């Protein structure tokens, strides 16, 4: 956007360069341009009134679509042929797949607080075979120390499964652990203000 005169607001002009100096749009300028692009009938007075209000940006609670890209560096072995050169004909090609560490998320994650004893039990459950093992591993790897408590992030899909199991009255080692943990947390869990890394995450 062109730099403007502080008095008359007209675009400034550099006589030496014979150009109008420009800069990247500031936050309100970008918002103004967006409003003008979407609402063609919105006049300057309306935009000025909107600009008077304080504008704050937060984290989205859900994601409709999220695109990521990655670069893979792959090393492989190609045997030598009878002539001593690389036998490229024996190379049938490579297949590379990319998988996320966690299941796809569409909501916010939750924060739960646990005691040292509960944290130790969670660690044991990460080594116990069963359909709960991956869930416990995801919760355990996000544990952080906060004063004398252990604070961890629970993905929305994991929290939904935990709450569903508890609602149905399921019993077992992992169900009993999370039943005890959530009963000690306000409202069962505390939603985060930011999505989890690598994905948007959440729980009610």
Among the ranges given (91-95, 104-108, 156-160), the one the predictor scored with the smallest mean pLDDT: 91-95
Q: What is the pLDDT of residue 71?
A: 78
Considering only residues 93 and 150, tell me which one the structure prediction assigns the higher pLDDT: 150
Q: What is the mean pLDDT of residues 3-9?
A: 80
pLDDT, tens digit, for every residue of 68-92?
777 778 888 888 888 888 887 877 7
Radius of gyration of the CA atoms of the chain, in A: 28
Q: CA-CA distance, 138 to 134, in Å (whole number)?
A: 6
Structural domain spans, the chain:
1-54, 110-191
pTM as predicted: 0.48
Angle at 11 between CA 7 and CA 15, to 5 degrees: 105
SS3 assignment, position 52: helix
Q: Are 60 and 107 in contact (CB under 8 A)?
A: no
Q: What is the pLDDT of residue 99?
A: 72
Q: What is the mean pLDDT of residues 128-137?
A: 93
Q: What is the pLDDT of residue 58?
A: 63
Q: What is the pLDDT of residue 181?
A: 93
Q: Is the pLDDT of residue 62 over 70?
A: no
């Amino acid at each position: 956007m062109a730099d403007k005169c502080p008095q008359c607001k007209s675009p400034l002009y550099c006589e030496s360069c014979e150009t109008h100096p420009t800069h990247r749009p500031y936050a309100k300028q970008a918002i103004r341009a967006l409003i003008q692009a979407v609402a063609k009938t919105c006049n300057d007075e309306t935009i000025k009134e909107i600009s008077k209000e304080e504008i704050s940006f937060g984290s989205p609670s859900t994601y409709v679509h999220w695109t990521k890209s990655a670069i893979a560096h792959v090393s492989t072995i190609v045997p030598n042929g009878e002539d001593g050169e690389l036998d490229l004909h024996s190379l049938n090609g490579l297949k590379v797949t990319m998988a996320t560490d966690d299941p796809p998320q569409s909501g916010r994650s939750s924060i739960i607080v646990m005691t040292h004893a509960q944290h130790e039990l969670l660690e044991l459950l990460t080594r116990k075979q069963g359909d709960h093992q991956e869930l416990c591993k995801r919760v355990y790897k996000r544990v952080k120390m906060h004063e004398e408590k252990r604070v961890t992030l629970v993905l929305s899909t994991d929290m939904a499964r935990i709450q569903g199991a508890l609602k149905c009255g399921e019993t077992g080692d992992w169900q009993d652990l999370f039943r005890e943990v959530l009963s000690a947390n306000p409202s069962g869990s505390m939603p985060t203000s930011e999505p989890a890394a690598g994905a948007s995450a959440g729980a009610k």
